[in-house]
Amino acid sequence: MTTTPAPSPTARAHTARALHTPVIAWFDANARDLPWRHAEAGPWGVMVSEFMLQQTPVGRVLPVYEQWLARWPRPADLAAEPPGEAVRAWGRLGYPRRALRLHAAATAITERHGGEVPTDHAELLALPGVGEYTAAAVASFAYGQRHAVLDTNVRRVLARAVTGVQYPPNATTAAERRLARELLPGEEAVAARWAAATMELGALVCTARAPECGRCPIAARCAWRAAGSPAHDGPPRRGQTYAGTDRQVRGKLLAVLREAHGPVPQAALDAVWDEPVQRARALDGLVADGLVEPLEGGSYRLPLT
């Protein structure tokens, strides 16, 4: 069996240079006007957007983001409130543990960094709730630093344009990180623009289900297209079901607690889902995750501490 040799570092460098200019030019002409891209959003606005945009479409994030920044324009403003208020304001964005993590990050920023989102990548990574992707994204988009920013959209663009496959692996690999670093422009400002541009290209053109190759600025250089756009032959891609899952039950329970102005009795929570075993499991999970506090007498509330 013959295998195709991996491209040399020189070939990779040539590929990178051929991609940078058209992708960044496309971004300059087509980037969406989003509030976290405005200078006045500042590093805190960028961080809030990055937490909210994980696994959530822009259209759902925009109204919550604007309300959040109006209420908590600085990390210290959020840190001064109980974490349950962050969960309440999170609304129906989904994955509400992100709200608790953002509150914890705001508290750490207030206590350790004088209320200013740190500029150093390692200090960002040390904040609670901030992982590899979020630290790189904030450092890049808020401070114009040179980091490989690998979200789902970027990974898909690089998989198709450079690696020649339809989809990236289910989980980010060391090879993907290495490729992303090799493709980074040398100048910090250009690298930050490249990170934003590849992300936008994946979100608007090189989409998962229906890529619009006719609109793509690098279609002529795309390794996947050159190979005849072969279908995905790796492990099955994970689907996201919702109806009937514990996630749906958790969302219904949290909706009751968010709308309440005081403790909620067990009977009010029992009314939202008929199946008692699943309902109890979902409620126990919310308590274990710190999203709900049980009180004496069998009532519940959003967390105060």
CB atoms within 10 A of CB 273: 17
The active-site residue out of 50, 85, 200, 293 is 50
The Cα-based distances of 104 to 117, 144, 194 in angstroms read 13, 25, 30
Q: What angle do CA 65, 102, 95 make, to 5 degrees?
A: 75
50 is catalytic: yes
| The token pair that represents 301 in the structure block | 């509330």
* Cα–Cα nearest to 190, from 147, 219, 153, 152: 147
3-state SS of 117-142? CCCCHHHHHCCCCCCHHHHHHHHHHH
Please provide the distance, in angstroms rounded to a whole number, between the alpha carbons at the two ends of the chain: 61
DSSP state string for 22-39 = HHHHHHHHH----GGGSG
CB atoms within 10 A of CB 118: 22
In the 8-state DSSP scheme, what is residue 237? P
* Cα–Cα nearest to 197, from 151, 165, 133, 139: 151
Q: Which residues are catalytic?
A: 50
